[in-house]
Amino acid sequence: MSAHISRSVLDALAALARSASGWEVCGLLTGEGDRVTGHLPSTNVADDPAMRFEIDPATLLAALKAERHGGPAIIGCYHSHPSGDPAPSRTDAHDAAPDGKLWLILAAHEAGLWRAVADGARFGRFEPVPWTITTPSGLHAGAGFSKRPGEPHIRSLDA
């Protein structure tokens, strides 16, 4: 089953990633099920933000508290790979909890979607998740938008 990410969220995250030259931006994805409809940016509090990311614990706690009080559900996280690949690194696999959450990775021109699981194909921790882009009208924009045949979990950011 495909996940869905709204066009406005994807555009905002691509702009955030582009605005940070050389360091990783990060934050939380909100929505329902596998449908991403919002995002909460965080400061990257990692010691070496060029090489890894760590969501600010204060941002996470505030989001969890809001969720408990009827706010948007946290369904995953995002971060950027400024010079890299839209696939999780070994460091990402080491840091990820196998909690079934979505991981969106923004590279320079592509985005990849993954799920953190206990027994994944990528470094034992991540499974690729096919996804489509939704627009306010509900249409699935960008069909065939993946430039990589056979890799429906990777999509171009250069619409």
Window 71 to 90, contacts with Zn ion (CB under 5 A): 89
> What residue is closest to Zn ion based on CB?
92
Three-state SS string over 93-115 comes to HHHCCCCCCEEEEECCCEEEEEE
Quick one: 31 or 86, whose CB is closer to Zn ion?
86
What SS3 state is found at 142?
coil
67 catalytic residue (yes or no): no
- Residues 79 and 86: their CA atoms lie apart, in Å, by 10
Q: Cβ 147 to Zn ion, closest distance in Å? A: 21
Quick one: 112 or 134, whose CB is closer to Zn ion?
112
- Residue 86's contacts (CB-CB under 8 Å, 6 or more residues apart) are 105, 106, 107, 110, 111, 112, 154
The answer to whether 92 contacts Zn ion (rule: CB under 5 A) is yes
- Residues 61 and 49: their CA atoms lie apart, in Å, by 21
Choosing from 24, 67, 110, 127, the catalytic residue is: 24
The answer to whether 110 contacts Zn ion (rule: CB under 5 A) is no
Q: Cβ 81 to Zn ion, closest distance in Å? A: 5
By annotation, the residues acting in catalysis are 24
- The residues of the shown chain that bind Zn ion, judged by CB under 5 A, are 89, 92
